[in-house]
Chain A
Amino acid sequence: MYPIVDHEVLAPRVHRLRVQAPVVAEKAKPGQFVILIIDEKGERVPFTISDWDRDAGTVDFVFIEVGKTTQQLATLQPGDRLLSFIGPLGRAAEVDRYGHVVTVLSGYGIAATVPIIRALKEHGNTVTTIVQAPDKERLFGVHPLEELSDDLILALGTKGDGMMESTTVAIRKLLDAHPKKPVDRVIAMCSLCLMRVLSEMTRPLGIKTMVHLTPVMVDGTGMCGACRLSVGGTNRFACVHGPEFDGHEVDGWEVLMARRCTYADESILQQGFQCRGCSQW
Chain B
Amino acid sequence: MTEAKEPKASPKKPKLNLNRVEMPKQSEHERRHNFDEVALGYTWELAKEEASRCIQCKKRNCQQGCPVNIDIPDFIAALQREEIEEASRILKRKTSLPGVCGRVCPQELQCEQACTLNKKGAPIAIGRLERFIADWERTQGAPTMPEMAPSTGKKVAVVGSGPSGLTVASDLAILGHQVVLFEALHVAGGVLMYGIPEFRLPKEIVQREVQYVQALGVDLRLNTVIGINYSLDELLNTDYDAVYLAPGAGLPKFMRVPGENLNMVYSANEFLTRTNLMKAYLYPEYATPIKMGKRVAVIGGGNVAMDAARCAVRLGAQEVYVIYRRTRAEMPARLEEIENAEEEGIQFHFLCNPTGFLSDGRNNVAAMELIRMQLTEPDESGRRRPVPIPGSEYIMDVDTVVVSLGTSPNPLIPSTTPDLEVTRWGTVVIDERGRTSKARVWAGGDIVSGGATVISAMGEGRIAAAAMHEYLTNGQ
Contacts and interface: CB of A to CB of B under 8 A. Distances in A.
A69 interface: yes
Contact of B223 (A43, A72, A86, A240): A86
A224 B411 contact: no
Interface in B268-314: 269-270, 273-274, 278-279, 284-289, 291
B93 interface: no
B38 to A, nearest CB: 25
B238 interface: no
A87 B264 CA distance: 27
A195 B315 CA distance: 36
Given A23-B229, A223-B251, A37 B224 contact: no
B225 interface: yes
B147 to A, nearest CB: 33
Interface of B: 184-186, 222-225, 228-229, 250-252, 254, 256, 260-264, 266-267, 269-270, 273-274, 278-279, 284-289, 291, 362-364, 410-412
Contacts of B285: 41
Contact of B362 (A23, A42, A279): A279
A43 to B, nearest CB: 4
Contacts, number: 111
| Most central of A27, A44, A87 by chain B CB within 10 Å | A44
Contact of B261 (A69, A89, A235): A235
A85 interface: yes
Interface of A: 23-24, 26-27, 37-38, 41-44, 68-69, 72, 83-89, 218-219, 221-226, 228-230, 235, 240, 252, 254-255, 257-259, 262-263, 266, 277-279
A218 B273 contact: yes
Q: Which 3 A-B pairs have the closest CB atoms?
A: A258-B363, A225-B267, A84-B186
B228 A69 contact: no
Given A23-B229, A223-B269, A84 B287 contact: no
Contacts of A85: 223
Contacts of B287: 38, 41-43, 68-69, 72
Contacts of A228: 254, 261
Given A228-B261, A258-B363, A222 B289 contact: no
B263 A255 contact: yes
A224 B225 contact: no
A224 B362 contact: no
7 contacts: A69-B287, A86-B184, A86-B225, A221-B228, A222-B251, A223-B410, A266-B289
Contacts of B229: 23-24, 26-27
Contacts of A263: 289, 291
Contacts of B186: 37, 44, 83-84, 86
A221 B364 contact: no
Nearest to A258: B363
Contacts of B264: 262
A224 B228 contact: no
Contacts of A88: 228
Given A228-B254, A254-B363, 17 more contacts: A27-B228, A41-B285, A43-B289, A44-B278, A69-B287, A86-B223, A89-B228, A221-B228, A222-B412, A224-B267, A224-B273, A228-B261, A235-B261, A258-B362, A262-B264, A262-B291, A277-B362
B244 to A, nearest CB: 19
Contacts of A278: 362
Contacts of A89: 225, 228
Contact of B263 (A68, A229, A259): A259
A48 to B, nearest CB: 16
A224 B186 CA distance: 15
Contact of A255 (B278, B291, B363): B363
B289 A223 contact: no
Contact of A225 (B184, B254, B256, B278): B254
Nearest to B262: A255
A86 B185 CA distance: 8
A258 B360 CA distance: 12
A277 B360 CA distance: 12
Nearest to B364: A279
B245 to A, nearest CB: 15
Contact of A258 (B256, B263, B267, B269): B263
Given A68-B287, A221-B412, A255-B262, A226 B270 contact: yes
Contact of B269 (A43, A84, A224, A266): A224
| Most central of A68, A225, A259 by chain B CB within 10 Å | A225
Nearest to B187: A84
A262 B270 CA distance: 14
Contacts of A44: 186, 278, 288
A221 B182 CA distance: 14
B411 A222 contact: yes
B154 to A, nearest CB: 24
A89 B184 CA distance: 11
A72 B228 CA distance: 28
Given A258-B364, A262-B291, A219 B223 contact: no
Nearest to B287: A43
Contacts of B261: 228-230, 235, 252, 255, 259
Given A225-B267, A262-B264, A84 B222 contact: yes
| Most central of A43, A83, A87, A224 by chain B CB within 10 Å | A224
Contacts of A279: 263, 362-364
Contacts of B289: 43, 263, 266
Nearest to B291: A262
B262 to A, nearest CB: 6
Nearest to A266: B289
A277 B364 CA distance: 11
Contacts of A83: 186
B462 to A, nearest CB: 26
B273 A223 contact: yes
A202 to B, nearest CB: 25
A265 B287 CA distance: 14
A63 B250 CA distance: 30
A41 B186 CA distance: 12
A42 B187 CA distance: 13
